Homo-oligomer: A and B are copies of this chain.
Amino acid sequence: MNEKILIVCSKSHIDLAREYKDYYKIGVERGCLDLIKAGLPINYAVGDFDSVSEDEFKEIEAYSDELVRFPAAKDLIDGEIAIQYAVSRKPQEVVFIADGSRIDMTIAAVGLVAEYDVILRNDDNYCYLLKEGNNFVPYKEGYKYISFLSFDKSLVNIRGFLYNAENLAVSWKSVNATSNEFVDKVGGNVEVFSGQTLAFYCN
């Protein structure tokens, strides 16, 4: 399928209406309110909705084609239910907007990128999973750094960036892989031999 899906969990300054107008839109909890604020209809609203007021919930209901309320005591972290539903639609792309101050939740969100092959985005970060084999990693306006990290120790070649390396073991912290930079606003190449390698655009 050619469907692209946007999942909104958190507030951001991203122009949702401009960038994601044609996406199938899923709102998670208060993320529904951000879709509404952007003037976008919600295709699928999901959450326990404990974090919204009764009036907000009514507004979300009114803007949603479909709403699924699940109980607060749940096994999956917020957002994973939305990702599982999104992935079940076999889309071409899933963008997951999430942000917050909790480090455990941040790590869990990055784990979801690796597990479900979705894009994690917020005001300061754009993170996705590289494929095994060669990956062209394009320059993206608005980001200074590109980092490569892995939870399970991957093996890669990094070429065409400011810092390059051959047969580099990438972990949660890797010389030549963290805070790398683009040269002349052109992309570079990352060849993944084994393991799951995540790319992070950030500032």
Q: Which A residues form the contact surface with B (CB < 8 A)?
A: 75-77, 80, 101-108, 110-112, 114-115, 120, 123-125, 127, 145, 147, 149, 151, 171-173, 175-176, 178-179, 200, 202-203
Partner of A108 from the list B106, B111, B125, B178 (CB cut-off 8 Å) is B178
Which B residue sits closest to A203, measured CB to CB? Answer: B102
Check A106 against B104 for contact (C-beta < 8 Å).
no
In the complex with contacts A77-B173, A111-B173, A173-B111, A202-B151 CB distance below 8 A: no
Check B108 against A173 for contact (C-beta < 8 Å).
yes
Q: How far is the CA of A172 from the CA of B103 in the complex (A)?
A: 11
Task: State how many copies of this chain the complex holds.
Answer: 2
List 5 A-B pairs, minimum CB-CB distance, nearest first: A111-B172, A104-B147, A101-B124, A104-B200, A108-B173
In the complex with contacts A112-B173, A173-B111, A173-B112, A149-B101 CB distance below 8 A: no
A175 to chain B, nearest CB (A): 5
For residue A173, which residues in chain B have a CB less than 8 angstroms away from its CB? Answer: 77, 80, 107-108, 111-112, 115
Q: How far is the CA of A101 from the CA of B125 in the complex (A)?
A: 8
For residue A112, which residues in chain B have a CB less than 8 angstroms away from its CB? Answer: 173
For residue A125, which residues in chain B have a CB less than 8 angstroms away from its CB? Answer: 101-104
Check B108 against A77 for contact (C-beta < 8 Å).
no
Q: How far is the CA of A102 from the CA of B103 in the complex (A)?
A: 11
Check A149 against B104 for contact (C-beta < 8 Å).
yes
Check B200 against A149 for contact (C-beta < 8 Å).
no
